Chain A
Amino acid sequence: NAGVTQTPKFRVLKTGQSMTLLCAQDMNHEYMYWYRQDPGMGLRLIHYSVGEGTTAKGEVPDGYNVSRLKKQNFLLGLESAAPSQTSVYFCATSIMLNTEAFFGQGTRLTVV
């Protein structure tokens, strides 16, 4: 039982490159979220999903896209990376409303 797994753990991109971050969960949770964490700014919600096939924008969605084709996977895409997207990205899941959110181990992304 792996819980919430993020791939990759570290990545360095050049400005303008694209990449996809994968979040995989084996807990059968409906809700999945992508957050970014920057010093002094806490965790900010990028996009989220309330179930397979659904996605919605969070607080800071610009420059990112997401897909939830399968219930267990939530993908975060950067089409054209910018230095402002240098951050630590966390995926989280929860089984239902108002219950604990379980976080992945994080992905440290650097855009140069």
Chain B
Amino acid sequence: GENVEQHPSTLSVQEGDSAVIKCTYSDSASNYFPWYKQELGKRPQLIIDIRSNVGEKKDQRIAVTLNKTAKHFSLHITETQPEDSAVYFCAARADSSNTGKLIFGQGTTLQVKP
């Protein structure tokens, strides 16, 4: 069935460094790829998303790249700050029958050390 694999499960970086989280998906019909940030004890919130007709999207320090041929997409955070510390989830809309359901990766715990 549909599957989204996310790596790494934990990531620790020094403040100011870059962080990269990678996801692969199984369903070639997937066409929507959002990224969510979840702070401790809070609800997941969308930080950026990309659609299959675009290869890259950027929003200030955050960027997402998509390689449809290889079926993988990545989140890039530059100039990391302590407030970037959270769990990050990738997701893919992996159903071509118009249900809109999102399949999530397992999550990456990012720690930014001051």
Using CB atoms and an 8 Å cutoff, list the residues of chain A in contact with chain B.
31, 33, 35, 40-45, 48, 50, 56, 58-59, 90, 94, 96-98, 100-101, 103-106
Contacts and interface: CB of A to CB of B under 8 A. Distances in A.
Nearest to A101: B102
B32 to A, nearest CB: 4
Contacts of B106: 40-42
Given A43-B89, A50-B99, 20 more contacts: A33-B101, A33-B102, A35-B104, A42-B6, A43-B44, A43-B91, A45-B102, A45-B104, A48-B101, A50-B98, A56-B99, A59-B1, A96-B100, A97-B93, A98-B32, A98-B93, A101-B46, A103-B43, A103-B44, A103-B45
Contacts of B98: 50, 97
B95 to A, nearest CB: 10
B51 interface: yes
B11 to A, nearest CB: 15
Given A97-B98, A103-B43, A42 B32 contact: no
